[in-house]
Chain A
């Protein structure tokens, strides 16, 4: 693995002492500028891992190192997009983003902060809606404000917890495109939770597959072998798309449970490149 920007080592979390840990021996690395999606069934601790990365929750064991520094507590270096958008309803769209900007740069005068915020609101395609209250926006627009807010503090890393989970399919597509455009323009490092296999294939460079909890772990790292230029409209014409898709769905349907039953003894994370090196599939990489 290339020199990782973010390294997670042996992370585990248990909520009660007598119960087995939700996840155990979770280790992975994310390189700078990489877009990583994590997929797994409910209850495997995806959100907990994200919260640990965000610094909102403390792990029971293990360390997270970002940019040569241990992650302890929340930081402006990591922007978070929440599943429920978490906009403050008493602020306007602009107010919500300005609140973040002024948290990041407290010394900036008001108009400079506003200008900065407007740039990001425009980036997510909400120009003209700056003075609306969140309650006047649709679900998709709210989530875009959430994304603008997270990007506006120019974090070293972006964490997203199922950001599009509550959106209908059409809106989701539009916002995904928006996100893809921004991420490729800014080379943002992203860690994102999703339940949507297609979304993962569209957005991610690498897809982490988690086995079922308890004692969940990252069983496979699937490298996205589709070209970077893939788009939502055309990617399903590429035969490679189905090879990856089948691999992911097979994992969720069969292997995620089997791996859990096999126990942690076999705790290796395999790197898989579906479609390209079928023969290497069984080759274990530590």
Chain B
């Protein structure tokens, strides 16, 4: 076996071991404690009214009572199975499947991100090619960049008057900066030699932009896009918690209000996995445009 492959296997083995440890810790931490069991035994002669109350609270009196309300592995598995078995159900505004909610969030991120790319990449070209514009626009960028995207939310809600579009606007505003900065940097640092080749060949400006500058700056631009996508995926959850209605962020908040911690944990996992997949997609794209000199 090649050493590299061997390393991969060993790493996977350790990852699995760590995962198993985490599950074990979770299981032990949520397992019913001795004292709780005694208490449960003492109160076993409770009235049927108390049973009824317990049922209403989502707890069955027959199930072991837990000191902490944190769900155990079995409950978690049950929720995951139920959510994954039917991810696209729609029982009205407050009860939609995880797939539908995820779809809303992805659509918002995709739209906001796409608009940001359409604005940031051409503007970044301008900044990268013209030191004058770079200087002129720099103060605006420096002030606007550090603003938390959620701070725009009230303004967006007031002017746009639509919570869904406001969410898209917030995604736009948070993904525009890394793309803008990276495009400007990538375009400004295209190797002098290549520009000189284009000059001596009297290449027309548009042809130069698409055949020389764009491929030369593409790896840097894609780095910017990857960072932007990461930030956008962070922000969408918070934004949807704030505006509500639909989306994975709203799903988390709604399940919290339902006190369904298993659903919250499940949603957290889904957010993590989706974020990872998005990052992988951009990593792949980045690899496609990277060149070796």
Contacts and interface: CB of A to CB of B under 8 A. Distances in A.
A84 interface: yes
Contact of A56 (B194, B196, B292): B196
A153 B201 contact: yes
B212 A55 contact: no
Interface in A103-123: 103-104, 106
Q: Which of A82, A84, A86 gathers most chain B CB within 10 Å?
A: A86
B292 A135 contact: yes
B204 to A, nearest CB: 8
A54 interface: yes
B215 interface: yes
B202 A74 contact: yes
B193 A55 contact: no
A103 B203 contact: yes
B138 to A, nearest CB: 28
B276 interface: no
A80 interface: yes
B199 interface: yes
Interface in A47-96: 54-56, 74-76, 78-80, 82, 84, 86, 88-90
A35 to B, nearest CB: 20
A86 B199 contact: no
Contacts of B215: 88, 90
B212 A86 contact: no
B193 A82 contact: yes
A89 B202 CA distance: 20
B212 A88 contact: yes
B199 A56 contact: yes
A86 B196 contact: yes
A153 B197 CA distance: 12
B132 interface: no
A100 interface: yes
B211 A54 contact: no
A78 B193 contact: no
A104 B202 CA distance: 8
A133 B215 CA distance: 14
Interface residues of A, number: 24
B193 A86 contact: yes
* SS of B interface (majority): helix
A89 B292 contact: yes
A210 to B, nearest CB: 22
A86 B196 CA distance: 9
A153 B215 CA distance: 23
Interface string A117-160: 00000000000000001110000000000000000010000000
A119 to B, nearest CB: 18
A86 B202 contact: no
A135 B293 CA distance: 5
A80 B196 contact: yes
A242 interface: no
Nearest to A86: B193
Contacts of B199: 55-56, 74
Contact of B200 (A55, A88, A99): A55
Given A74-B202, A88-B212, A104-B201, A82 B196 contact: yes
Contacts of A78: 200
Interface string B256-293: 00000000000000000000000000000000010111
Nearest to A146: B197
Contact of A75 (B202, B203, B207): B202
Contact of A86 (B194, B211, B292): B194
Interface string B191-232: 101101101111110010001100110100000000000000
A84 B194 CA distance: 10
B73 to A, nearest CB: 50
Given A80-B200, A86-B196, A135 B211 contact: no
Interface string B159-201: 0000000000000000000000000000000010110110111
Given A99-B211, A135-B291, A135-B293, A88 B197 contact: yes
Nearest to B191: A86
Given A56-B196, A82-B193, A99-B211, A89 B201 contact: no
B291 A76 contact: no
A54 B200 contact: yes
Q: Which of B191, B218, B291 gathers most chain A CB within 10 Å?
A: B291
Contacts of A134: 293
17 contacts: A54-B196, A55-B199, A75-B202, A76-B201, A79-B200, A82-B193, A86-B193, A86-B196, A88-B215, A90-B289, A90-B291, A99-B201, A99-B211, A100-B201, A104-B201, A134-B293, A135-B291
Interface of A: 54-56, 74-76, 78-80, 82, 84, 86, 88-90, 99-100, 103-104, 106, 133-135, 153
Given A74-B202, A133-B291, A135-B292, 5 more contacts: A56-B196, A80-B197, A89-B293, A103-B202, A135-B293
Interface of B: 191, 193-194, 196-197, 199-204, 207, 211-212, 215-216, 218, 289, 291-293
List the 8 closest A-B pairs by CB distance, nearest first: A86-B193, A103-B201, A89-B291, A135-B292, A90-B215, A74-B199, A74-B200, A80-B200
